[in-house]
A and B are shown apart, each in its own frame.
Chain A
Amino acid sequence: MTTQMLTIAVSKGYMLEKTILLFNDIGLSFDVDLQTSRKLFSTDHINRVRLLQVRPWDVPVYVQGGAADLGIVGKDVLLEKDPPIAELLDLKFGRCDLVLAGMEQIEPNQLAQNLTVATKYPRSTVNYFQDRGLKIELINLYGAIELAPMTGLADVICDLTATGKTLKENNLKIIDTIFRSSARLVANPVSLKVHYDRICAFSENLAKCCKE
């Protein structure tokens, strides 16, 4: 009996390179270089593993829908979307923080009521302010969030930062860190049942290779 193909949805963008390197470390090699090809899938025919290259925000959707058995995605996406999928392993790369930033360097306890907040992470943002008893107005942006305070679109922003460099160059100061994120291995709950031994072994192999 041939082994079933295990399908893994991987985030394209900054995490893709690290993901492929990690997979190579555990002995997988794929027929298509997703970073240069326009193909959106790549296969290791010997180990029966197929990669799907999708947008970070779409990884949980593919995994939840059973189109992928596993996925590699940032904890930030999991915290924001709260998808009903299993989180198996912290891969320890792709580290970044969701921070609250503004033009002025203030303390979190100096945040006022009714601030206008621009973000790509509405759920995490609203939770943060609600926990502090603060009501906000929300502006949902898809990118270049850093422009919002300078242009007067918003008072403060909630955005992801790895080094803080972009924030600094746009005259923004970090007020608070909402959460820390890194890449995670996630699984479809039924796939985790059907391929339990294989997925556990896969996760253990990855764990050995992604020690800090």
Chain B
Amino acid sequence: MRNFTPFGVRDFTPTETNKFKKNVRKIESEFEKWDYQQIITPTIEYYKTLEKGMGPQLKKRVETFKNSNGDVMVIRPDHTTPIARLVANRMKEEEKPIRLYYNGPIVRSPGQEVVTEMESFQAGIECIGLEGPEADAEVIMVCISALLKLGYTSFGIDIGYIQKNLTKKNQDLLIKQDYVGLGYIPKRGGVDILPSNHALMDVYKILKKNKMDQYITFNMGITRELGYYTGIIFECYLSEKGFLIGSGGRYDNLIQDFGYPCPAVGFALNLSRLQLYRGI
């Protein structure tokens, strides 16, 4: 056998690395323009710690191992949970909001992708300590700005929210996208599809005021398997690609799971799917 890398991970040659770095720099400079500060969390953590942020599907997809002590370790499967831990542990006293950004790989065992995907590079932000539509709109605007900065024009963001009045059965059908079982295709369109006086109306108003409303659509079919989302949730896609390139949402209870009640909202872009090492 030749010395290939495993499926779902890859090397970056100097040419690829340069292209990738240049693009990542663009994203980072946009994050910094919005006052976000970079942080670094470890690649491996205790499984018990990060388990707090894992839904049932993600639990099946994390790579774990035992260290020499016999502790079960996990390779970071997302950035948000470690950041929630960090904030609860070491940043409680800081003035709110805390605006943080990150850029680094996550690892998930191959799931149902057409092409095996194991290590994905992600860059994203977390806006911590703010409730309300201003913070929700801010992270969406940062996301749009980052995509524009990268040179994309033909992209969209679909916005929905965790619908607490749904039955468990319908929630599962939405996650599975089984609209035959559900009995209808969920509504998608402008603000008019939102229930009257819905909090997302204010998010829309802010985006409109900032001339970013052309990138967004409301979608009642959006759900997230990750257990920690509590409010707005959104998905980003490129019009010509058949997969999501990023997602995010509000998670007001996750930091509390680490002992410090604090609302937060954020998003991550999947840089591997964007193939930024090829240049765009």
Contacts and interface: CB of A to CB of B under 8 A. Distances in A.
B184 to A, nearest CB: 10
A66 B178 contact: no
Nearest to A190: B237
A88 interface: yes
Range class of the B interface residue count: 20 to 34
Interface stretch (A109-117, A157-165, A191-199): A191-199
Contacts of B185: 86, 88, 192, 200, 203
A89 B180 CA distance: 6
A194 B236 CA distance: 11
Contacts of B181: 87
Interface in B142-161: 156, 158
Contact of B114 (A61, A82, A193, A196): A61
Contacts of A87: 176-181
Contacts of A108: none
A133 interface: no
A54 to B, nearest CB: 13
Contact of A82 (B112, B219, B237): B112
Contacts of B65: none
Contacts of A192: 185
A64 B114 CA distance: 7
Contacts of A67: 242
Interface string A79-95: 00011111111100000
A85 B113 CA distance: 11
Interface in A33-70: 61, 64-67
Interface residues of A, number: 25
B108 to A, nearest CB: 14
B211 interface: no
A85 B180 CA distance: 12
B242 A188 contact: yes
A191 B179 contact: no
A151 to B, nearest CB: 35
B163 interface: no
Contacts of B188: 193, 196
Contact of B179 (A64, A84, A88): A88
B50 to A, nearest CB: 23
A122 interface: no
Contacts of B179: 86-88
Contacts of B7: none
A210 to B, nearest CB: 12
Given A82-B112, A84-B112, A196-B217, 4 more contacts: A87-B177, A189-B242, A190-B244, A196-B189
Those 7 A-B pairs whose CB atoms lie nearest each other, nearest first: A66-B242, A86-B177, A65-B114, A190-B237, A188-B242, A196-B188, A87-B178
